[in-house]
Chain A
Amino acid sequence: MTRSAIELPVTADDRRIAWLAALAIGLTLAEAAIPSPVPGVKPGLANIVILLVLLQVGWRAAAWVSALRVLAGGLLLGSLFAPGFWLSAAGALVSLSVLALARHLPGRYFGPVSLSVLAAFGHIGGQLALAGWWLLPSAALVKLMPVFAAAALIFGAVNGVIVARLLAAPAPDKRQSTPCILP
């Protein structure tokens, strides 16, 4: 048996981020199979994972999970570096920036629903900004803005309620706090 020449130290944090990113990637793949009347209108289920990570671990971990999700999601869906990938990346970037600011809102008044709705608007805002600037610099996009914004509001609120419920539910096991055991 040969020893590998390079050994990367893997911390418990790395494993946790990988595990959560896998969860987000799974949700991304699952919702890619959902048909949508307008391209771009998606439930954004992976944002549930991102929000949970943000609230329970921190912003850095959420950014990692989000970046890994966009990258691996692009790989698995075959859209890596295609326009859809860049739209997704722009949405994730703006969404994370919004969350970086919004998480400092007083938690007494602003719960997961606020964060989720703001993140959803950030997501769609980033995508529309890039699409309008790069892909479709025409007025046609303006007509679709209300549709995207309404979808962001509805799905953001629904995802936020899901996050709130998940946070409120008693953890069945301590999986969030211990590193998962890899075979």
Chain B
Amino acid sequence: MMMLRAGDVGVLLAGAGLVAALTVFAWGGGRGDTAVIRASGQVVQTTALTHTQSFTVDGPLGTTRIEIEPGRARIARDPSPRQLCVKQGWLTQSGQAALCLPNQVSLEIRGRTSAYDTLGY
């Protein structure tokens, strides 16, 4: 007697598909697709995370450089003394934000679903 019949393979594949769909539904909903760049609290740039590009934003201390790549964004260079926002590295999830407070520049990732209604800095 065969252990697996044709329908069994189908059921197993359907089950694997269900697991994958649930995984994407439960865990993958947080990926961001938009980057919002602010300077002194004002939005200066909103861009989709679809292709590689970079922006420079001027603040009180100097120039902050922001890099966008498909699916992620980071602050590449910043004049802040402690470099906290640069050390955060690449941001991918919706709701993540890198704040360069001395230079008053922020980078925020947004997606279809946001974890918070609003964030105050």
Contacts and interface: CB of A to CB of B under 8 A. Distances in A.
A88 to B, nearest CB: 22
B26 A143 contact: yes
Interface of B: 1-8, 10-12, 15-16, 18-19, 22-23, 25-27
Main secondary structure of the interface of B (DSSP, over half): helix
Contact of B4 (A111, A146, A149, A153): A111
Interface string A136-163: 0000001111100110110011001100
A164 interface: yes
Main secondary structure of the interface of A (DSSP, over half): helix
Given A118-B11, A143-B26, A146-B27, A110 B5 contact: yes
16 contacts: A109-B6, A109-B8, A110-B5, A113-B3, A113-B8, A114-B7, A114-B11, A117-B8, A118-B11, A142-B26, A145-B25, A145-B26, A153-B18, A164-B3, A167-B1, A168-B1
Given A109-B8, A153-B12, 5 more contacts: A114-B8, A114-B11, A117-B8, A146-B27, A160-B8
9 cross-chain pairs, A with B, having the tightest CB-CB distances, nearest first: A109-B7, A110-B7, A146-B23, A113-B8, A114-B11, A168-B1, A153-B15, A111-B5, A146-B22
Contact of A143 (B1, B4, B27): B27
A153 B15 CA distance: 6
A4 B25 CA distance: 61
Given A146-B19, A149-B22, A113 B11 contact: yes
Contacts of B10: 109
